[in-house]
Amino acid sequence: MISLRFKKLKIRENSITISRRIIQILAFLIINYIILEAILPINLLSLEGFSKVLPILNSPRNPLSKGGGILEYIFFSMAEGVFPFFLIAVLLLVLLFSNRFFCGWICPIGSIQDACAAIPTKKKKFKIQTHKTLLNIKYVFIIITIIIIFPLGITKNANILFYIDFKAQLGTFADQPIGFFSLSEFIFVYFPNLVQNIFLPAQFGALDFGGYLILFFYLSIIVLSVWYPRIYCRYICPFAAVSSAVSEYSFLKLARNPVKCVGRSECGICEDVCPKQIRILDEPFDFFTGKGECNLCLECKEKCPYDAIDIKFGSV
């Protein structure tokens, strides 16, 4: 009887995490719905259009999903000389109304990193200054991509011969600008192809220096996410770069109750459990987004012993 009551208490205490895990697993299966078609006698082809506008960094070449991520389509359209007003509007609306809920609860790459972080090890944090510097990496990647891809699209309409030449020089980067910075592309496209090729020594041996570099880089990221949760989301993800820039303006945010919160010296649990290494207690009480890094996983809210963290919706 006591053990049953204890279990119920534990479930209630962890209800946010349990709900999040269930949603993450369902989202993983729905976004990569071909997995469901493989294991169940159903046809989910009608989801194809839906998955194409989900703001997820799937590559259009992803063998597990016929859809590509919204950011991928935005850059792909730009490279083709079409300014994607509609897709940008959809992305902005999603971010304004749900902030980075997608990152915390739906993104399959986030879920994979959470699964790695669930391996019981002592979690590590970077020094504050190192962490702040590393956060800029993703902005550098996205700015470089815009600087190259936007002019490419303009040349298509201005000088088609120049465009063809420019595009040829850029190679694969012009066809899938986000792919190089995408862990999704690595996990769902690059790595499965590589594993297949291991059994074809001639092709595996043909992997160039860049290929080995990509392999080493992303495998390191996956391994590091066991000790540094969400390391890819924090420092590399192009979707994170775009969404964190909009996050401060979102209607959905977290706030800290100044009456209930006892502060860092007496508690600080929220900062200890935050997988994004956000200095929650340095942020204003009214709302906090960790400079756009908060993915609304709500671990801080769940673990706060004083129930001092609230979800806010509306302008601040």
Site of interaction with ligand SF4 (CB under 6 A): 254, 256, 261-263, 267-270, 274, 276, 278, 280-281, 290, 294-300, 304, 306, 308-309
The nearest distance, CB 156 to ligand SF4, in angstroms, is 40
The nearest distance, CB 100 to ligand SF4, in angstroms, is 8
The nearest distance, CB 206 to ligand SF4, in angstroms, is 42
Q: Which residues share a beta bridge with 252?
A: 313
For residue 288, what is the DSSP state? Answer: B
Q: Report the phi/psi class of residue 121: left, alpha or beta, with left for phi > 0 and alpha for psi in -120 to 50.
A: beta
Distances (CA, A) of 314 to 254, 256, 281: 11, 15, 22
The nearest distance, CB 307 to ligand SF4, in angstroms, is 8
CA–CA separation, 75 vs 83, rounded Å? 9
The nearest distance, CB 77 to ligand SF4, in angstroms, is 31
The nearest distance, CB 227 to ligand SF4, in angstroms, is 17
Cβ proximity to ligand SF4: between 49 and 263 the closer is 263
Cβ proximity to ligand SF4: between 226 and 280 the closer is 280
Cβ proximity to ligand SF4: between 174 and 240 the closer is 240
Specify burial of residue 231 (Cβ count, 10 A radius: 0-12, 13-18, 19+). Answer: buried
Largest pairwise CA distance in the chain: 78
Q: Which residues share a beta bridge with 156?
A: none
- H-helix or E-strand containing 141? helix 137-158
CA–CA separation, 45 vs 73, rounded Å? 20
Cβ proximity to ligand SF4: between 135 and 270 the closer is 270
The nearest distance, CB 247 to ligand SF4, in angstroms, is 10
Cβ proximity to ligand SF4: between 52 and 256 the closer is 256
3-class SS string, 110-134:
HHHHHHHHCCCCCCCCCCHHHHHHH
Cβ proximity to ligand SF4: between 246 and 267 the closer is 267
Cβ proximity to ligand SF4: between 64 and 309 the closer is 309
The nearest distance, CB 295 to ligand SF4, in angstroms, is 5
Range 131-136, long-range pairs (CB < 8 A, 24+ positions) = 131/234, 131/277, 134/234, 134/235, 135/234, 135/235, 135/291, 135/293
CA–CA separation, 250 vs 294, rounded Å? 12
Cβ proximity to ligand SF4: between 241 and 298 the closer is 298
For residue 19, give the 3-state DSSP assignment: helix
CA–CA separation, 46 vs 52, rounded Å? 11
